[in-house]
Amino acid sequence: MVKKDLAQAVARKCPNITTSIVSKSVNEFFSVIASSLQAGRRVEIRGLGSFSIRVRKKRKAINPKTKLTVEVKEKAVPFFKPSQVLSDSLKKTEKKEKSSGFFHDVFRDITRQRD
């Protein structure tokens, strides 16, 4: 799902709000999260999870093309940790998939191979 799909899904759930207003709201929502992370603040959304910044230490790596050792600088990367509620709901979904029967399992395996 991309941002546009997310905005359309929210707009379908709220028919009294136009898609353009929902789209602007979704964009602003992500903008606030991004600016909070840039400022070094953690963003927690109950029931979904928390966004934070983690710093990766500098390290040595090998350039696969030239086989030379290069030094990768320290950098900050965004990190998402799902909430317990979200994790539990995904576990329930996995259990349903596993117990769906033979044909469902075959179809699931075929669709995963395409991705």
- 17: containing domain: 1-41
Clarify whether residues 9 and 29 are in a common domain: yes
- Token pair, residue 39, equals 């400022």
Element (H, E) at 63: none
CB-based contacts of 63: which residues, under 8 Å, 6+ apart?
69, 70
pLDDT at 101: 52
Clarify whether residues 9 and 27 are in a common domain: yes
pLDDT at 35: 96
Clarify whether residues 66 and 95 are in a common domain: no
38-56 residues labelled b (16+ CB within 10 A) or e (exposed):
eeeeebeeeeebebbeeee
Clarify whether residues 35 and 55 are in a common domain: no
User: For residues 24 and 53, what is the distance between their CA atoms, to the nearest angstrom?
Assistant: 25
Clarify whether residues 1 and 35 are in a common domain: yes
pLDDT truncated to tens, each residue of the chain (115 aa)?
Answer: 999 999 999 999 988 999 999 999 999 999 999 999 999 999 999 999 999 999 999 999 999 999 999 999 999 999 999 999 999 988 887 666 555 554 455 455 555 555 4
| Prediction pTM value | 0.67
